[in-house]
Amino acid sequence: MNVFEQGGTDIGTRAGVMERQARGGGPIAIGAFSAETAEEEADSARDEARAPRLNRRLGRADLGAVPEARRALRELLRHWGRPGRAEVAELLTSELVTNALVHTDHDAVLTATVGHRGLRVEVRDFVARRPRLCVPIADDGTHGRGLLLVQSLADAWGVRVHGVGKAVWFELDAGIA
């Protein structure tokens, strides 16, 4: 169901939903639901609850957490059956973890979930400042390339703002080798 098929809402609410989706927040539930829609959502929630998952708290400024996160993700993805995609996932995860630890002065939380649609990795920090995509300066060493890699290699990515902080996420589809 797209935002214009949802009954019981006005165009202003629909525009707000579209704006939220464009910011990477995903769909939200508004209006009336059919029994079929509720059943599909319940099935999806059950599948997600059973999906292999990684949850890791990353200590403030602990760059040693970056290789640990890669190893944990590699173990999670060992049976995924997408070796080339697993390597991309490791690279992108290390970029998001590094960004969260270098650009904030707080802890972060890494969550990775493998579902039937693919892999979703999310790194949540506790600083509201949104990351900016920037063009790296040629002689600036290794800075400024992380989000460009994420944008280039992920099937989807975005930033979701929370009450305290934000989550930067990416997805890799299972069907693409």
Q: Any idea which of 35-39, 67-71, 135-139 has the lowest mean pLDDT? A: 35-39
Residue type, 77: L
Does residue 16 surpass a pLDDT of 60? no
Domains in the chain, please, with CATH? Answer: 1-50 (no CATH), 52-173 (3.30.565.10)
Residue 58: both structure tokens together: 């990353």
Average pLDDT on 154-158 reads: 95
Higher pLDDT, 82 or 134: 82
Q: What b/e sequence results for 90-125 when a residue is b if at least 16 CB atoms lie within 10 Å of its CB, and e otherwise?
A: bebbbbbbbbbbeebeebbbbebbbbebbbbbbbbb
Query: Is the pTM higher than 0.75?
Result: no
Alpha carbon distances (Å) from 1 to 20, 33, 66, 117: 16, 10, 39, 18
d(CA 51, CA 62): 28
Q: Give 5's DSSP letter.
A: G
pLDDT in tens, 98-117: 989 988 888 999 999 999 88
pLDDT at position 134: 64
Residue 48: both structure tokens together: 């997600």
Does residue 5 surpass a pLDDT of 50? no
Residue 14: both structure tokens together: 């629909």
Higher pLDDT, 1 or 59: 59
pLDDT at position 175: 67
SS3 (DSSP) at 131: coil
